[in-house]
Amino acid sequence: MNPLTTAGLVLLCGAIGWQVLAIVRRAMERRRLRVMPRVVRVFERAMLLYAAVAAVVIVLPMVGISPGWQEKTAHIAGTLATAVVVARLLRELLQSGIQREHAAPLAASLLRSMTSAAVFVVALVVVLATLGVNITGMVAAIGAGGLVVGLALQETLANFFAGLYILLTGKVRVGDYVQFDTFEGTIEDITWRTTLLRRATNALLVVPNQRLSSSVLTVFRAEQSPVMVRLEFLLEPSADLDRAESAIRQALEELLASGRLDGLLAEPPVAVRFGETAALGVQMIVWVPARNVGSLFDVRAGAMRACVQALVRAGIPLVVLRQ
């Protein structure tokens, strides 16, 4: 059979496969599947791409290229086509996961670009090896240089990947109020190396991303309403717990009725819980509802003041006072 005819048949088969996969993809989309339609879309284009590569390889003898270069050209074309397909497949899978996690667009774009670059670097190495280039020394030099740079920039790289993780997962976002270790504040910006927190004193706290990602966080969403403010007291072991709870509830009800504390809510109701009993005293935890993150600090300060005054008036001895 004439090579041109064979190439034409190969292209026709590729087009038919493309249409069949398109029908399958549309059926999956009607069933509202998320990941598989993306995968099938990649293989739709792969059918046409591989058909085009096969057609070119088939007609190579007509161009007058030597058999050795025909084989090399086929290997190179197949490698590049496979790299394109793998890069697209990984990008689609990453995009599906990124949308599910509501990651930041900038971080998502960077991760997709890094993945594609890694695939094409591997493809380039294979192409160079096919062309007869000795890549052993090149790989060794790149590895040694990468090790030196990695050691020199260890902390910077750790913060970079921690920032990428924070942005991709979306566990904390700009506008959230976070508490960790002995720090707290509203997130104003997340960069590749640091996260900026605005504290109640209006000062900016610059936190390395690695510190933030490795800490246990309490996160109050910017859009969350209401939020529960946690107050903690340590009472004397001999304290009357019923009287302490009654005094706390009455003080907060009076504060709410007076309207002096903006942001304090009636619902959900105030919750009073007693924790561990130790030799030092009895732990009492009070949860107070605030309108949103913006009113959290004022509500906590006002409610704490009212609770302390109520406990003192009721004659409830405090051992340690913590927020």
Residue 232 falls within a domain, yes or no?
yes
Q: Which domain holds residue 207?
A: 169-220
Does residue 236 share a domain with residue 210? no
**What local confidence, expressed as pLDDT, does residue 286 receive?**
92
Please determine, for residue 66, whether its predicted confidence score (pLDDT) is greater than 50.
yes
Q: Which residue has the higher pLDDT, 147 or 92?
A: 92
Contact 284, 235 (CB under 8 A): yes
Overall average pLDDT of the 210-219 stretch: 84
Distance between CA atoms of residues 290 and 225, nearest Å: 8
Residues 147 and 43 in one domain: yes
How far apart are the C-alpha atoms of 38 and 48, rounded to whole Å?
Answer: 16
pLDDT of residue 250: 92
Domain boundary among 152, 181, 212: 152
Lowest mean pLDDT across 29-43, 133-147, 203-217: 133-147
Q: Which of 220, 238, 255 corresponds to the end of one domain?
A: 220
Q: What is the C-alpha to C-alpha distance for residues 144 and 121, in angstroms, rounded to an integer?
A: 17
In whole angstroms, give the CA distance from residue 293 to residue 220. Answer: 6
**CATH number for the domain including 285?**
3.30.70.100
262 and 126 in one domain? Answer: no
Q: What is the mean pLDDT of the chain?
A: 81
Same domain, 94 and 211: no
Q: Above 80 in pLDDT, residue 305? A: yes
Number of domains comprising the chain: 3
pTM of the model: 0.52
- Residues 198-219, mean pLDDT to the nearest whole number: 83
More confident residue, 280 or 43: 43
In terms of pLDDT, which residue wins out, 278 or 186? 186
Ramachandran bin of 214, using left for φ above 0, alpha for ψ from -120 to 50, beta for the remaining angles: alpha
Residue 160, in any domain of the structure: no
Q: How confident is the model at residue 99 (pLDDT cuts 50, 70, 90)?
A: low
pLDDT at residue 2 is higher than 80 = no
Q: Distance between CA atoms of 282 and 318, rounded to whole angstroms?
A: 10
Kindly tell me the burial class for residue 302, based on how many C-beta atoms sit within 10 Å of its own C-beta (0-12, 13-18, 19 or more).
buried
Do residues 32 and 138 both lie within one domain?
yes
Are 287 and 251 part of one and the same domain?
yes
Q: CB-based burial of residue 264 (10 Å sphere; 0-12 exposed, 13-18 middle, 19+ buried)?
A: buried
Looking at per-residue confidence, does 191 or 235 come out higher?
A: 235
Residue 161 in any domain: the answer is no
* In 102-190, alpha helices (H): 105-130, 136-152, 154-169
Q: What was the pLDDT predicted at 144?
A: 67
pLDDT exceeds cutoff 60 at 90: yes
Residue-level pLDDT at 138? 64
Q: Is the pLDDT of residue 205 over 50?
A: yes
My answer on whether 135 and 110 are in the same domain is yes
Q: Judge whether residue 167 has pLDDT over 70.
A: yes
287 and 200 housed in the same domain: no
Where does the pLDDT of residue 3 fall: very low under 50, low under 70, confident under 90, or very high at 90 and above? confident
Domain annotation covers residue 19 = yes
Residue 321: per-residue pLDDT: 47
**Distant-in-sequence, close-in-space partners of 268: CB < 8 Å, separation ≥ 6:** 226, 228, 289
pLDDT of 277 above 50: yes
Quick one: pLDDT at residue 323?
44
Please tell me which of 74-78, 177-181, 238-242, 301-305 the model is most confident about, judged by mean pLDDT. Answer: 301-305
| Contact between 39 and 21 (Cβ < 8 Å) | no
Phi first, then psi, for residue 246 (nearest 5°) are -60, -40
For the cut 80, the answer to whether the pLDDT of residue 118 exceeds it is yes
Q: Which residues of 18-39 are buried (b: 16+ CB within 10 A; e: fewer)?
A: beebeeebeebeeeeeeeebbb
Least confidently predicted of 11-15, 75-79, 102-106, 220-224: 102-106
Burial of 306 (0-12, 13-18, 19+ CB in 10 A): buried
pLDDT above 60 for 102: no
Q: Are 37 and 23 in contact (CB under 8 A)?
A: no
- Same domain for 36 and 126, yes or no, is yes
| 30-39, 145-154, 195-204, 252-261, range with the lowest pLDDT | 145-154
Q: Residue 50 domain-assigned?
A: yes
HEC profile of 165-222: HHHHHCCCCCCCEEEECCEEEEEEEECCCEEEEECCCCCEEEEEHHHHHCCCCEEECC
Q: What is the pLDDT of residue 119?
A: 86
Question: Dihedrals φ, ψ of 32, to 5°?
Answer: 60, 35
pLDDT digits 0-9 by tens, 215-267: 888 888 776 778 888 898 888 888 888 999 999 999 999 999 888 888 888 88
